[in-house]
Structure 1
Amino acid sequence: MLIAQLTDLHIGAGRRLAYRKVDTAGALENAVDHVMAMDPRPDVVLFTGDIGDLGNQQEYGLVAEILTKLTLPYFMVPGNHDRRAPLRTAFPDATPVKDGAAFVNYVVDDYPLRLIALDTLDEGKPGGVLGADQLDWLRGVLSDGDDRPCLIFMHHPPIVTGIAHMDAQNLGEGADELAAIVAQHRDRIRAIICGHVHRPIHTIWAGVPLMIGPSVAHQVAFDLRDDGPSAFVMEPPAMHLHVWDTPSQNLLTHLAYIDRYDGPHPFFGADGKLIV
């Protein structure tokens, strides 16, 4: 099973450039083209938040237009730049929650690896929260008798990355409770994948691998100073590809760059002969 993780799209209405510089709509088009050109293609695509930049219908309409070329199953969770109601209206199949549900929490049971969507949005605020209702919902899912291995996907990471201005807006309320739940079920939770930080970051948290995906458009500057300013850099857009091997029950994560670079090139030795 192959999972493509695309995150932090930040699409602006009318193809507005982010920070007057970043063509986020063009970046999403490139990401979709990249995914569709893969061989083998992913089985599913997970969007881990910040689909839009302001979270309005115009932005999601543009995203939907671009995603018509993505003919693979895909699912979404909201990020802090999103709004639940317009996101769900624009993408009902990608946010399959029950009518009347307050949060975008759901489970995808169509694959060997169970996919658990967890909504960390505190609407209108940059940081994330998990209230008692979300945590109770997660406890219920993990105790429903389905013992298959699972993956949790959400927007805000519950960790300190060392990038101070991003750590100030990570998952706050509910992070400790989430850690306790994850630790209790660490034998089944194969990984937690997040967005938000715009950098590829890997660690072990509450006994399970936790990976933050890079943005498909622009990255946050790598700056570990306590007073490091909020800044982005035009490093190559990228995505994570998570490979689930059912026989071994192992998850392997690759970093894949989206820009088109020349290659691959065969290796030749000093004698000019191809090295196989």
Structure 2
Amino acid sequence: MLIAQLTDTHIRIPGKLAYGVVDSSAYLERAVAWLRALPQRPDAVVVTGDLTDFDQLEEYARFRSIMEPLDLPVHVIPGNHDSSVGVREAFPQIVARTGGKPDGKVNYVVEELPLRIIMLDSSVPKKPHGELGPETLEWLDRQLMKSRRDTVVALHHPPFLTGIRHMDAQNLKDAAAFETVIARHAHVLGVWCGHVHRTIVTNFAGRPCRIAPSTAHAVSFALAKDAPASFHMEPPAVSLHLYEPGRVVSHTCFVSPYDGPYPFFDTSNRLMG
């Protein structure tokens, strides 16, 4: 089974550019076209937050229209540029997944895939940092006790420091409590995040924890303590997660045009010289 993870699409209303520079809609359209052209189509798409730039219904509608040609199940959670309220209004099908509650955190479980995915809402209203809170952490623990199936947990804010100081100031504030819950459940194969617009991988509660790259701009790789908050237009990318029982293999795939493929061997099966 193959799952595509997109994150930090930052969709704006028509005619507006993210940060005055980034045509984020065009970049998402390119990512969708790339995914549609894959020989092995993904079984589902997970979007780990910051779907929009300003949490506007028109931005959510534009996001949905760009994603529609994929014709795949799309599972979303809010980031700090979104809101729980905005995501519920834009994706009414999520309300049923969250037990019919019309408000509160957008936490739900994707049960219908071979790999179980728990989607967590780490957004804090009108704040850049993330927090799950005791209620979500207790809910997560209960969901992980319900089933011993292979599971991944997805949220927007990473629960670890990356060394990029201005982003680390906005990470998950209750990461230690989150780690305690994850560590109790051996069937959790990994944690998927967004927020930092870069591919970053570390160990968390003894499992792989991976930040996916943005489909648009990248947060600058700058580890100096006094580095300013900035971004670069690095090649945009998506994460593709290949699942087999007991294991997830994750690939970073660039969606901008590039040369290739070139053969390693000629028609006589000799290595090209």
Distance 2:231 2:214 in 1: 11
**Aligned-partner Cα distance in 2 for 1:154–1:29:** 23
AA of the residue aligned to 1:235: E
The aligned runs of 1:1-276 (5 Å cut-off) are 1-93=1-93, 96-100=97-101, 101-144=103-146, 146-172=147-173, 174-185=174-185, 187-246=186-245, 249-267=246-264, 275=271
CA distance in 2 between partners of 1:123 and 1:14 (Å): 25
Q: Distance in 2 between matches of 1:93 and 1:51?
A: 16
The 8 Å contact of residues 217 and 232 in structure 2, kept in 1 or not, is answered as yes
Query: d(CA) in 1 for partners of 2:195 and 2:233?
Result: 16
Do the aligned residues in 2 keep the contact of 1:119 with 1:154 (CA within 8 Å)? Answer: yes
Distance apart, 1:99 and its partner CA: 2.1
Q: For the Cα contact (< 8 Å) 1:74–1:94, is it kept in 2?
A: no
The alpha-carbon deviation at position 86 of structure 1 amounts to 2.3
Provide the TM-score with structure 1 as the length reference. 0.94
SS at match of 2:216: coil
Map Cα deviations across residues 98-154 of structure 1 (whole Å, 9 max, x no partner): 22241110001111111000110001000001111111110110112x110100010
Tell me, what secondary structure is at the counterpart of 1:211? strand
Return the offset for 1:61: 1.2
Distance 1:24 1:180 in 2: 36
Give how far 1:268 is off: 5.4
Q: Secondary structure at the match of 1:13?
A: coil
State whether residues 199 and 213 of structure 2, in contact with CA within 8 Å, keep that contact through their aligned partners in structure 1.
Answer: yes
Cα 1:15–1:134 change in 2 (3 A) is farther
Identity in percent? 44
Q: Tell whether the 8 Å contact from 2:238 to 2:252 is kept in structure 1 after alignment.
A: yes
**SS, match of residue 14 in structure 1:** coil
CA distance in structure 2 between the partners assigned to 1:273 and 1:128 by the alignment:
54
Distance 1:86 1:123 in 2: 11
User: What do you get for the CA RMSD once the two structures are aligned?
Assistant: 1.7
Q: TM-score of the superposition, structure 2-length normalised?
A: 0.95
Amino acid at match of 1:170: N
Q: CA deviation at 1:58?
A: 1.1
**Structure 2 contact 48–154 (Cα < 8 Å) conserved:** yes
User: How many angstroms apart in 1 are the aligned matches of 2:137 and 2:12?
Assistant: 32
* Aligned-partner Cα distance in 1 for 2:213–2:110: 23
1:56–1:83 contact (8 Å) kept in structure 2: no
Is this contact kept in 2: 1:15–1:25, CA < 8 A?
no
What are the Cα deviations for residues 156-192 of structure 1, in whole angstroms up to 9, with x where unaligned? 00100000000000001x211111111111x210010
One-letter code aligned to 1:142? L
Q: How many residues align?
A: 270
Deviates further, 11-20 or 24-33: 11-20
Q: Report the CA distance between 1:94 and its aligned residue.
A: 5.5
89-98 or 18-27, larger mean C-alpha shift: 89-98
Q: Which runs of 5+ in 2 are unaligned?
A: none
